Amino acid sequence: MSATSIPLAEGRTDWDLPYRGRVAMLSLITAEAAIFSIFVVAYLFYIGKSLTGPMPKGVLSVPIFYTICLLSSSLTIHLAASALRRGTIRNFRILWFITIVLGAVFLYGTATEWHRLIYRAGLTISTNLFGTTYYSLVGLHGFHVIVGLLCLSLVMAFTLLGSVRAEHAERIDVLSLYWHFVDAVWIVVFTVVYVIGM
Amino acid sequence: MSQLAFWICGSGIAFAEPNPPFSPTNIFAPASTPAKSIFGLTLFVLAVTAAIFIVVFALLLYAVARFRKKADDDGREPPQVYGSNQVELAWTIIPILIVVALVMATARVVAVVQNASPPGNAILVTAIGHQFWWEYRYPGLGVVTANELHVPVSDPVHPTPTFIRLLSADTDHSFWVPRLAGKTDLIPNHPNTMWIDPMATGVYLGQCAQYCGTQHAKMLLRVYVQSKDEFDRWIEQQHQPASISEAVSQGQQIFETTACINCHRVSGTVADGRFGPDLTHLMSRDTIAAGAAPNTPENLRLWIRNPNAIKPGSLMPAMQLSEQQMDALTAYLETLH
Amino acid sequence: MSTESIAWPSTTEESRSFVEHLHEWVATVDHKRLGLLYIAFALVFLIIAGLEAMVIRIQLIRPHNDFVSPQVFNRLFTMHGTTMIFFVVMPVLFGFANYLIPLMIGARDMAFPRLNAFSFWMTAFGGLLLYFSVLGGNGLYGAGNAPDVGWFAYAPLTSQTFSLGHSTDFWTLALLVSGFGSIGTAINIIATVLCMRCPGMTLAKMPLFAWLNLIMAGLVVLAVSPLTAAQIMLVIDRYLGGHFFDTQAGGSAVIWMHFFWVFGHPEVYILVLPAFAFASEIIPVFSRKPIFGYSVMVGATIAIGFISMSVWAHHMFTVGMNAAANTFFVISTMAIAVPTGIKIFNWLATIWGGKIEFKTPMLFCIAFLFQFLIAGLTGIMQGAAPFDWHLGNSYFVVAHFHYVIVGGILFCVFGAFYYWFPKMTGKMYSELLGKLHFWIFIIGFHLTFDFMHIPGLLGMPRRIYTYEPGRGWDIWNFIVTIGVFFQAAGILVFLGNLIWSYFRGKPAGNDPWDAWTLEWSTNSPPPDYNFAAIPVVKSRRPLWDLKHPDDPDWKYE
């Protein structure tokens, strides 16, 4: 029995659903936020509970400069995305590159800090509860920065090859959402480790 | 269905029966205040859930029977009903009220049991959970023993409860003697407290209720509730140093020169190990290996020769001794009253 | 009785070699194929975990039995629980979700087909990794060492000190890997449901199946991550000398419990919401009425999703939290009963006034209603914390959660198999075998899980490889074990039905059930592209509108 068949959808312009890349990235960010929350809770719970060994006040130095670098990279990536949307590829290229550099500087800062902590202050992940929670939390964040930088570098490579154009702005937006998340997590980690934890 | 049956049976069970129907570990036969408070709450909760069950079950049964497609069906679709706000409101409000009642009843019992503090005449015991046995220390009375907990009976009019501090030497355990109290866990680095005030003498059974490794199943509990006199006599006996006898000196020598003393303590001798149970008054206990076997010479000998025969995976190693050494050693241990 | 849909004429099919067929399946990104892969994977592990359960029950048929050693027993219950939850129930639910969601919302595939494939293979690899422990878990005790720490792997039993060798690591890594797969699938479901609905299908008009899976996916995203985090911490403890759960260094065993149950409780709602989804599609069709209270059903599910994140420590009532904390979790646990009860009442109201057809899918869903009611009530009992001080960690809990997972979820899964089998294969299953499966299985289910409550009430703890005679537990354990054989027989009938009907079943046509959602408007099985043209809908039951043009749903919604 063939009554009126289901109407066809061609040519319909009023059906506008969200961009799936954005929805997926926001879902991923939610999942990652949940993982970080658990590490933050562990960090907060174990403040002051180490039985031995170096304590935060004695060995940590607040990384103001590197934090500024990382947070500025959120600004530069935002400007880069706007530049791409407007079509000014050259500006996009420069700002994108600066973002990567700022992120790399932050990682360098983390690396030197860890080197000092391990070899001069004697704090490792197995020293005490502080060591375990500190390296895990900051390390997890650093790992996400590395992943982010890899993705940003991939885009940089595509840009240099001339493959990135204004029509890709939405995808760049999605990637920059991830980068903003990484920065937001750093704000939380910074507060927990260097403000509350000291 | 099974809940209903037990609700009916439970209310008929006398308290503190020596041999309660169905089981010596029946949660419906409380013999101590915490268990009784829980029992009261249990009956209330079972009554409420039984009522809900009867009503909803009946409605479901009716719906399934009454609204069957009949054999002489005319093929037309039934009235398409999409919803009803009033009905939704009704079956939201009523459950909320039921939930409020349940929460209030529950919160009261939680507070009564958890917020109790030991009165001056309470017996204080520290229970330390080990893989796979129970260590009991009576700090105020200077007694150290294992696996069989002795407490005085408590007169409801002038209670003499026992407050137990729960610690662990290794993994998580749980102390569960259903007729005396709900279970409370023994967690390393997380001391807990529980209390009991058993109102009738007797032996109360239970076992470890938190998976703790290979022999979790045979970490049994025996609580001996005794009259004041019997309890005092038991304490007296536990205070005695270990009996020394010429007749078993060879056995004692084997005990003190092999690995036994690494784990076990016999007070008044060189044996001062803490890893395993204190053996000073081994023969005052009805069972060995945390209830895994009755305390007979044959079982004792077997346990020492090959623990895996009684409790495979227990942490007691098989002592590689000759038959003659085994005889002497067992004879020695048999004197430790 | 359905509209004809246009299918492209198939090009001449050259016979393809076995390797080409295999490659098609291994390399597929099509949601229907991946759905079937998930389901097949789940069935294989169902049999394996079911055999594990059988051995467990044979060991417990009488006290002091020695069918297996304690070491083997402890590995069996760990593997049984872990397998059933992560490699049977989750995959089968993801499989049905993958298969049906695009069809139900009028899309051609999931939002991210390659992510879909990646997620499946991560899950599959996780399952294989877990079972590789049986062969390769080489630790200090020689070859073969499956994990034996229980499916919730409490610390410090999982530390290097108490868990020698690599068996615990297999548990940790297998679940870590499959956890990534679960999160991938959840992201895919969220993006698909939010971004790929056909024109006219607003959120308020999509099938409850899509809603329930959307909320389930949200829970996965929020709840699986804490498990991932805790497992990373465990690996750090075991291999980098960390002290997260190291009680000797001031660490906390209780914090593992908190982290695990923050995952563990929402996990059971992750398992049950898709089962609710099946019931919400099947019950209306076989009652010949729309679901009663669609908006309330959605609202109740959202409420369940939220509240489920706040009840976790009701698994920890015996741990020694203070009275205030215990009371908080009593309140949240009792509270979740309200929206859950609302759902049961709405299903009841759907049946009420209808014309029930007792086909096999409906039989399973009706049984689900009765059984889930009981399961919910035993849950309320345990929510009363002092009562749980007895019931917790006893066979009452084991009975309760099997009542939910088998009596509730598995029954709905069986219903789903029978309901959508014609769509997926184009063939009708044997109704006779279906009913046989139902009756044999339900007898076994009740023998086992009704009577299992009793030893719990009589003081029998869980996870014990044997028990003492004279505790009054013997007869009940015996009956429980007998029931297992009935269930096994039922499963065999089920599998036989699937296989036989696949080859010899009658052609089913597009719409054998006279149903109302979009998947019934296309071929059985659907072509690769799902629909010849993307449909446009006006109500929650687009096919009802087509079949009843004089009385369409959109007039009343």
- The predicted-structure confidence for C149-198, as pLDDT tens digits, reads as follows 999 999 999 999 998 888 999 999 999 999 999 999 999 999 999 999 99
Q: Is the preceding omega at residue C370 within 30 degrees of 0, hence cis?
A: no
Nearest CA in chain A to C199: A15
Most B CBs within 10 A among C76, C387, C450, hence the mutation to make, goes to C387
Measured from the Cβ of residue C4, the count of other Cβ atoms closer than 10 Å reads 12
* CA-based nearest distance B249→chain C, Å: 37
pLDDT number for residue C238:
96
Residue A77 three-state SS = helix
A142 within some domain: yes
Whether A46 sits inside 8 A of C250 (CB atoms) is yes
Range of the domain at A128: 20-50+65-196
Whether the per-residue pLDDT at C12 is higher than 80: the answer is no
Q: Which residues have CB under 8 Å from B310's CB, separation 6+?
A: B289, B292, B293, B299, B302, B303
| C-alpha torsion sign, points C56, C62, C67, C70 | positive
Chain A residues with CB inside 8 Å of C195's CB?
Answer: 17-20, 23
User: What CATH number did the domain enclosing A28 receive?
Assistant: 1.20.120.80
Reported confidence tier of residue A82, pLDDT bands at 50, 70, 90 = very high
C130 token code pair:
């877990």
* Contact by Cβ (8 Å): C314, C382: yes
Chain C residues with CB inside 8 Å of A2's CB?
Answer: 3-4
Chain C residues with CB inside 8 Å of B206's CB?
Answer: 459
Name all chains with 3 or more CB-CB pairs below 8 Å to chain B: C
pLDDT number for residue A8:
55
Reported confidence tier of residue C11, pLDDT bands at 50, 70, 90 = low
Crossing angle (nearest 10°) for helices C337-351 and B33-66: 20
C10 within some domain: no
Among residues C57, C47, C184, the alpha carbon closest in space to that of C118 is found at C184
Chain C residues with CB inside 8 Å of A20's CB?
Answer: 111-112, 191-192, 194-196
Nearest CA in chain B to C75: B214
Nearest CA in chain C to B41: C387
* Least confidently predicted of A106-110, B318-322, C442-446: B318-322
The domain spans of chain B are 2-71+81-114, 246-333
| ipTM at complex level | 0.94
Q: For residues C296 and C204, what is the distance between their CA atoms, to the nearest angstrom?
A: 11
What average pLDDT score do residues C108-113 get?
A: 97
C352 within some domain: yes
Q: For residues B244 and B268, what is the distance between their CA atoms, to the nearest angstrom?
A: 9
- Strands B173-175 and B220-226 come out as unpaired
Whether C546 sits inside 8 A of A4 (CB atoms) is yes
Q: For residues A22 and A172, what is the distance between their CA atoms, to the nearest angstrom?
A: 10
According to DSSP, residue C427 is labeled B
The predicted-structure confidence for C355-386, as pLDDT tens digits, reads as follows: 999 999 999 999 999 999 999 999 999 999 99
Q: For residues A87 and A102, what is the distance between their CA atoms, to the nearest angstrom?
A: 23
Whether A6 sits inside 8 A of C4 (CB atoms) is no
- Please report, as a single letter, which amino acid is at residue A162: G
Q: For residues C293 and C290, what is the distance between their CA atoms, to the nearest angstrom?
A: 9
Whether B312 sits inside 8 A of C69 (CB atoms) is yes
B246-333 CATH: 2.60.40.420
The angle subtended at Cα C102 by Cα C96 and Cα C107, nearest 5°, is 170
Reported confidence tier of residue C556, pLDDT bands at 50, 70, 90 = confident
| C-alpha torsion sign, points A46, A52, A58, A63 | negative
Asked if B36 reaches chain C (Cβ–Cβ under 8 Å), the answer is no
A178-190 per-residue burial string, b: 16 or more CB within 10 A, e: under 16: bbebbbebbeebb
Whether A129 sits inside 8 A of C243 (CB atoms) is yes
Cα A9 from chain centroid (whole Å): 40
**Torsion angle (degrees, nearest 10) of CA C180, C184, C190, C193:** -150
Strand ranges (E), B123-273 = 123-130, 133-138, 143-146, 148-152, 162-168, 173-175, 184-186, 192-196, 202-207, 220-226
Among residues B2, B42, B7, the alpha carbon closest in space to that of C452 is found at B2
Find residues 101-160 of chain B whose CB sits inside 8 Å of chain C.
102-103, 105-107, 109-111, 113-115, 131
Whether B67 sits inside 8 A of C353 (CB atoms) is yes
Nearest CA in chain A to C226: A35
Residue B198 burial (C-beta neighbours within 10 Å; 0-12, 13-18, 19+): buried
Whether C549 sits inside 8 A of A3 (CB atoms) is yes
Nearest residue, CB atoms, A129 vs list C198, C251, C547: C251
Range of the domain at C126: 18-555
C305 within some domain: yes
Whether C196 sits inside 8 A of A32 (CB atoms) is no
Find residues 245-274 of chain B whose CB sits inside 8 Å of chain C.
none
Nearest CA in chain A to C1: A1
Q: Show pLDDT as tens, one digit a residue, over chain B (337 residues).
A: 444 444 444 433 333 445 666 899 999 999 999 999 999 999 999 999 999 999 999 999 999 999 999 988 888 999 999 999 999 999 999 999 999 999 999 999 999 999 999 999 999 999 999 999 999 999 999 999 999 999 999 999 999 999 999 999 999 999 999 999 999 999 999 999 999 999 999 999 999 999 999 999 999 999 999 999 999 999 999 999 998 889 999 999 999 998 899 999 999 999 999 999 999 999 999 999 999 999 999 999 999 999 999 999 999 999 889 999 999 999 999 999 9
Q: For residues A85 and A83, what is the distance between their CA atoms, to the nearest angstrom?
A: 5
B2-71+81-114: CATH topology is Helix Hairpins (1.10.287)
Provide the number of CB pairs (under 8 Å) joining chain B to chain C: 296
Whether A20 sits inside 8 A of C111 (CB atoms) is yes
Reported confidence tier of residue A192, pLDDT bands at 50, 70, 90 = very high
Residues of chain A that touch chain C, judged by Cβ-Cβ distance less than 8 Å:
1-10, 12, 14-15, 17-20, 23-24, 27-28, 30-32, 34-39, 42, 45-46, 49-51, 124-126, 128-129, 132-133, 136, 140
Whether the per-residue pLDDT at C337 is higher than 50: the answer is yes
Whether the per-residue pLDDT at C493 is higher than 60: the answer is yes
Q: For residues C237 and C230, what is the distance between their CA atoms, to the nearest angstrom?
A: 10
Chain A residues with CB inside 8 Å of C547's CB?
Answer: 3
Total structural domains within chain C: 1
Domains B2-71+81-114 and B246-333 share a fold: no
Chain C residues with CB inside 8 Å of B109's CB?
Answer: 386
Residue B135 three-state SS = strand
User: What CATH number did the domain enclosing C511 receive?
Assistant: 1.20.210.10
Whether C240 sits inside 8 A of A28 (CB atoms) is no
C2 within some domain: no
Whether the per-residue pLDDT at C117 is higher than 60: the answer is yes
Total structural domains within chain A: 1
Whether C221 sits inside 8 A of A125 (CB atoms) is no
Q: What are phi and psi of B10, to 5 degrees?
A: -60, -40
* CA-based nearest distance C255→chain B, Å: 11
pLDDT number for residue B15:
35
C363-387 per-residue burial string, b: 16 or more CB within 10 A, e: under 16: bbbbbbbbbbbbbbbbbbbbbbbbb
* CA-based nearest distance B104→chain C, Å: 9
Nearest residue, CB atoms, C534 vs list A9, A17, A133: A9
Taking the model in full, what pTM does it have?
Answer: 0.94
Q: For residues C82 and C88, what is the distance between their CA atoms, to the nearest angstrom?
A: 9
Whether A128 sits inside 8 A of C251 (CB atoms) is no
Nearest CA in chain C to A132: C242
Among residues B52, B152, B37, the alpha carbon closest in space to that of B106 is found at B37
Asked if B28 reaches chain C (Cβ–Cβ under 8 Å), the answer is yes
Whether C535 sits inside 8 A of A133 (CB atoms) is no
B332 token code pair:
């020695």
Most B CBs within 10 A among C458, C540, C556, hence the mutation to make, goes to C458
Nearest CA in chain A to C245: A129
Whether B82 sits inside 8 A of C349 (CB atoms) is no
Reported confidence tier of residue C145, pLDDT bands at 50, 70, 90 = confident
Most B CBs within 10 A among C80, C159, C329, C389, hence the mutation to make, goes to C389
Cα C114 from chain centroid (whole Å): 23
